[in-house]
C-alpha cells in the first residue's frame, strides 16, 4: 500500500513583505519557491515545468503551493528568516504550520 498525497496535506507559503529584511536566506534554501525582486524584498513564485521561468507573485498576501520535495527547504527558510515573515499554512483550513503564527 502506498502513501497518497491528499488535499488535506497540501501546503502553501506566503511572505509578509512589510517584515522582509531582504537577506535572501529563503532564496538560498529554496530558489524554486522564493526570489528577491528588484525592490530587494523576497516573493514567492509558483511551480513551473523544468526549463520555464516562474513569474514572481508580487501581490500582497500572494501564496504559492509548496512542492513536497521542497518542503524541508521551505520550512528551514521560515525558521531561519531574520524578518520572521515566511508563513506556511495548510490549504484545507488555513492553519499556519510553520512560521511566526504557528503554534
> Which CATH number belongs to the domain containing residue 52 in this structure?
3.30.70.20
Instruction: Look at residue 24 and tell me if it is in a domain.
Output: yes
pLDDT band for position 1 (cuts 50, 70, 90): very low
Higher pLDDT, 50 or 67: 67
- Dump the DSSP string for 4-30: ---GGG-EEEEE-TTT-----HHHHH-
pLDDT tens digits for range 8-66 = 579 999 999 999 999 999 999 999 999 999 999 999 999 988 888 899 999 999 999 99
**Amino acid 6: pLDDT:** 53
Instruction: Look at residue 2 and tell me if it is in a domain.
Output: no
Q: How far apart are CA 7 and CA 24, in angstroms?
A: 30
Range of the domain at 59: 11-98
Instruction: Look at residue 76 and tell me if it is in a domain.
Output: yes
Instruction: Look at residue 1 and tell me if it is in a domain.
Output: no
Instruction: Look at residue 33 and tell me if it is in a domain.
Output: yes
Instruction: Look at residue 34 and tell me if it is in a domain.
Output: yes
Instruction: Look at residue 5 and tell me if it is in a domain.
Output: no
pTM assigned to the model: 0.88
At residue 39, φ and ψ (nearest 5 deg) are: -80, 0
b/e burial code for range 28-65 (CB count within 10 A of at least 16 → b) = ebbebbbbbeeeebbbbbeeeeeeeeeebbeeeebbbe
Instruction: Look at residue 79 and tell me if it is in a domain.
Output: yes
Longest dimension (CA), the chain: 48
Query: Structurally, how many domains does the chain consist of?
Result: 1
Amino acid at each position: 500500500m502506498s502513501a497518497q498525497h491528499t488535499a488535506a496535506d497540501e501546503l502553501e507559503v506566503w511572505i509578509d513583505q512589510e517584515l522582509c529584511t531582504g537577506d535572501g536566506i529563503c532564496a538560498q534554501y529554496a530558489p524554486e519557491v522564493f526570489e528577491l525582486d528588484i525592490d530587494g524584498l523576497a516573493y514567492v513564485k509558483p511551480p513551473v515545468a523544468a526549463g520555464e521561468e516562474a513569474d514572481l507573485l508580487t501581490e500582497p498576501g500572494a501564496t504559492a503551493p509548496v512542492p513536497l520535495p521542497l518542503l524541508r527547504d521551505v520550512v528551514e527558510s521560515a525558521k531561519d528568516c531574520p524578518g520572521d515573515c515566511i508563513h506556511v499554512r495548510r490549504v484545507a483550513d488555513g492553519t499556519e504550520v510553520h512560521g511566526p503564527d504557528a503554534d
